[in-house]
Structure 1
Amino acid sequence: MEQKVSFVTFATADLDAAREFYVTGLGWTALLDVPGEVLFFQIAPGTVLGMFDAVKFAEDLESAGAPAVSGVTLAHNLNSPGEVDACVAAAERAGATVVKTPQKAAFGGYHGHFADPNGVVWEVAHNPGWTVDASGRVAIGVIG
């Protein structure tokens, strides 16, 4: 199997709240929006973030139980601690719950966490050891 991810999709209890948060609150543009079913955003070249109605998600999996995700964060890296503060504040204004106020991180950078209206947790970070070259290749260096 090729080492790549094309879609990250979350079962979403309230698709309208997700739309309000990401589209109206954060200003994101939907790649595909099927009301009552699914909402997709292109988040990187060849990569899509999906918010799938939880009932439809379970039907798609042919699962009787409600799908659950735990121990997962989506991460958004920025160029400075000030950008982290601004991003977390914008997410909070859009309806997010701040899980961890931005602060110095154990890894040597700076980060904070927020949860979207459906509980999807985002880490917003400035990590000076994180670089992406012109080809898109990531390097993670040790800080300090």
Structure 2
Amino acid sequence: MEQRVHFITVATLDLDAARRFYVEGLGWTPTLDVPDEIVFFQLAPGVVLGLFDADAFLADIDAGSALAAAPSGFTLSHNVDSPEEVDRVLGQALDAGARIVKSGRQAAFGGYHGIFADPNEVLWEVAHNPGWRVADDGTVVLGPVEE
């Protein structure tokens, strides 16, 4: 198996609230929207986020009610160019209906970050990390910029 991910699919307890938050609140454009089932957003070349109605998600994976449908134990991260941009995005998310979990502040990794929860408790980290960048070939580079 190659080391890559194409779809990140999150079981979503309230798909309508999620759709309103991402489309109307954050201004995202769906790639595909199937009412009462799933909405997809392209995040990057070859990478899609799917917000899947929790009941449809459980039926799709044949789990019945054996698994909890609510997401936990992970964050999705959105990296920006400055601490000011972190605060701006956190404010935009708050205005769209997010709950601020951690306000913008200095981070242990040396940058600046904050965390919000969308209407279904999906956690998003918004970070400015001067040691994170994407090379021209699309490779993520972690660490100081070499001169």
Which stretches in structure 1 are left out of the alignment for 5+ residues? none
Alpha-carbon distance between aligned partners in 2 of 1:51 and 1:115, rounded to the nearest angstrom: 14
Moved over 3 A (4+): none
Give the secondary-structure state (helix, strand or coil) at the position aligned to 2:10: strand
After superposition, what is the alpha-carbon deviation per residue over 1:89-118, rounded to whole angstroms, capped at 9, x for unaligned?
000000000000000001110000000000
1:74 is paired with a residue of what secondary structure? strand
CA distance in 2, matches of 1:18, 1:129: 31
Number of residue pairs matched? Answer: 143
Which shifted more, 39-48 or 65-74?
65-74
SS of the residue 1:24 aligns to: helix
1:93 matched to 2:95? The reply is yes
Q: 2:61 & 2:69 partners in 1: Cα distance?
A: 9
**Corresponding letter in the other structure for 2:38:** V
* Residue 40 in structure 1 maps to residue 40 in structure 2: yes
Structure 2: tracts of 5 or more residues without a match? none
With the length of structure 1 as denominator, give the TM-score of the two structures: 0.96
Distance in 1 of aligned mates of 2:41 and 2:70: 21
The C-alpha deviation readout for 1:30-82, integer Å capped at 9, x for no partner, is: 00000100000000000000000000000001112243432100000000000
> Could you report, residue by residue, the CA deviation over 1:11-33 in whole angstroms, capped at 9, with x for unpaired residues?
00100000000000000000000
AA matched with 2:47: T
Q: Secondary structure at the match of 1:117?
A: coil
C-alpha separation in 2, matches of 1:43 and 1:131: 16
Equivalent residues in 2 for 1:41-56 (5 A)? 41-56=41-56
Aligned position for 1:75: 77
**For the aligned residues, what is the CA RMSD?**
1.1
User: 1:132 maps to what in 2?
Assistant: 134
SS at match of 1:57: helix
TM-score w.r.t. the length of structure 2 is 0.94
